[in-house]
Each structure stands twice: as structure tokens, then as C-alpha cells.
Amino acid sequence: MEQGFNTDVAYNGLNYHVQTEDWGVANPYIVSRVYKNGAVLRSFKTPYTQIDINPLLAHSEVIQSAVKYQHQKILDLLVSGQLL
């Protein structure tokens, strides 16, 4: 199973890298970071307790969906100019 996402994005003439990953059950967080030139500009950490659990899906499917959602949300905020 894929544990995270990495995306390079250009906004306002600058290049950014967005990384989102699941830290796993032992450290139950989804973490996203926005990088510019290798330096972390912003970091977002969502605990599993804040994720809506769908009882019809396996735990791993719920977490992977939440990772994908958080990653896309960060990208949307970045390219709309609302993040930085």
C-alpha cells in the first residue's frame, strides 16, 4: 500500500514540494509538509482521532483516503495563494 504522496508544484514563479505521509498505527498521524529549496515552510499534522471512520471500509482504506484528501487540500490551498 502506498503510504504517502509527493508533488512538485509551481506557484507565483516559485517551485514547491508537498509531501504527505501516514506515520502508521504506532504514531497515528497524517503529516504534510510544504518545502521550498529543501526547507520546510509549513507543516500540518492530523491525528487519526480527527479522521471520520467509515465502518464500511477497512482501516487502511480510510487512512489512505484521508492521506490523499489532506495532500490535495494542501495543494489546493498552495496554488490558490491561501497557504503562504
User: What are the structural domain ranges in the chain?
Assistant: 4-79
* Interval 51-77 mean pLDDT: 91
Contact 67, 22 (CB under 8 A): yes
- Average pLDDT in the 49-57 region? 83
Rounded to whole angstroms, the Cα distance separating 79 from 27 reads 30
Average the pLDDT over 45-69 and give the result: 90
The conformation of residue 50, written as its DSSP 8-state character, comes to G
Q: Is the pLDDT assigned to residue 55 strictly greater than 80?
A: no
- Give the predicted TM-score (pTM) of the model: 0.90
Mean pLDDT value of segment 40-47: 97
Q: Is residue 54 very low, low, confident or very high in pLDDT (cuts 50, 70, 90)? A: confident
